[in-house]
């Protein structure tokens, strides 16, 4: 869902609404913002909220959300602030570009980190029918996986891991009957924005 906040209720000319700050978790969204700021074509009147949400605005169209990320567009009139703080238009544009660069470099992009697992790390269990791992972010099924190996480093689970269809933050690996011993779990998680994380833990079957 795209959330739009319109602070210019009187639809002032676009020259008075030239700054748009886009908070998103995708680097592509920030780059689109930079292109919008530096190459904006000013229409005779600022687009309405309906124009933004329907894609009919006469400016750079806003990208759609990636995964569960919502885009927040703040359209503000900068002329009162220019007068109040005596800021020139070039200086204001430079500040905007700097803010966009800061967002691009400092935003915590979505890395999928392990939250919990069953069996838990270093747990001792009498039997295990599957390994389930919960992550902080939704996963890309095609690139995320779980592998199980025994104490000798040999693969112990021939099945492929599956991302839960009802919750993309959860991944399962079905297990065959396991003999007693120590087993190592290796996991690779690729979030929907392409960031890859890896990890491992072990558990013991008694």
Q: Which of 90, 106, 122 is the last residue of a domain?
A: 106
Q: Which of 77, 106, 135 is the last residue of a domain?
A: 106
User: Residues 98, 187: one domain?
Assistant: no
User: Residues 97, 118: one domain?
Assistant: no
Q: Which of 69, 87, 106 is the last residue of a domain?
A: 106
- Residue 167 has what pLDDT? 98
User: Residues 6, 98: one domain?
Assistant: yes
- Residue 35 has what pLDDT? 52
- Decide if pLDDT at 95 tops 90: no
User: Residues 90, 145: one domain?
Assistant: no
- Residue 101 has what pLDDT? 56
User: Residues 123, 77: one domain?
Assistant: no
Q: 98: exposed, middle or buried (C-beta count within 10 Å: 0-12, 13-18, 19+)?
A: exposed
User: Residues 11, 99: one domain?
Assistant: yes
- Residue 24 has what pLDDT? 44
- Residue 170 has what pLDDT? 99
User: Residues 66, 138: one domain?
Assistant: no
- Decide if pLDDT at 78 tops 50: no
CATH of residue 122: 2.60.40.1220
On average, the pLDDT of the chain sits at: 71
User: Residues 86, 133: one domain?
Assistant: no
75: containing domain? 2-106
User: Residues 102, 6: one domain?
Assistant: yes
Tens digits of residue pLDDT in 98-150: 666 555 544 456 799 999 999 999 999 999 999 999 999 999 999 999 999 99
- Residue 42 has what pLDDT? 41
Tens digits of residue pLDDT in 167-205: 999 999 999 999 999 999 999 999 999 999 999 999 999
The total of structural domains in the chain comes to 2
């Amino acid at each position: 869902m795209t959330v739009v906040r319109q602070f210019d209720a009187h639809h002032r000319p676009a020259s008075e609404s030239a700054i748009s700050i886009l908070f998103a978790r995708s680097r592509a969204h920030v780059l689109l913002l930079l292109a919008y700021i530096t190459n904006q074509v000013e229409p005779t009147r600022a687009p309405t909220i309906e124009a933004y949400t329907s894609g009919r605005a006469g400016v750079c169209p806003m990208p759609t959300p990636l995964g569960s990320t919502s885009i927040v567009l703040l359209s503000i009139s900068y002329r009162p602030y220019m007068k109040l703080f005596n800021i020139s238009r070039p200086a204001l544009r430079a500040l905007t570009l700097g803010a966009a660069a800061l967002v691009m470099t400092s935003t915590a992009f979505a890395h999928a980190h392990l939250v919990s697992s069953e069996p838990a790390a270093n747990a001792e269990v009498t039997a295990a029918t599957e390994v389930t791992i919960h992550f902080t972010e939704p996963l890309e099924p095609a690139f995320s996986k779980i592998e199980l190996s025994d104490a000798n480093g040999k693969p112990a689970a021939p099945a492929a891991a599956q991302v839960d269809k009802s919750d993309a933050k959860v991944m399962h690996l079905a297990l065959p009957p396991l003999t007693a011993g120590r087993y190592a779990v290796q996991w690779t998680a690729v979030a929907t924005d392409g960031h890859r994380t890896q990890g491992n833990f072990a558990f013991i079957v008694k």
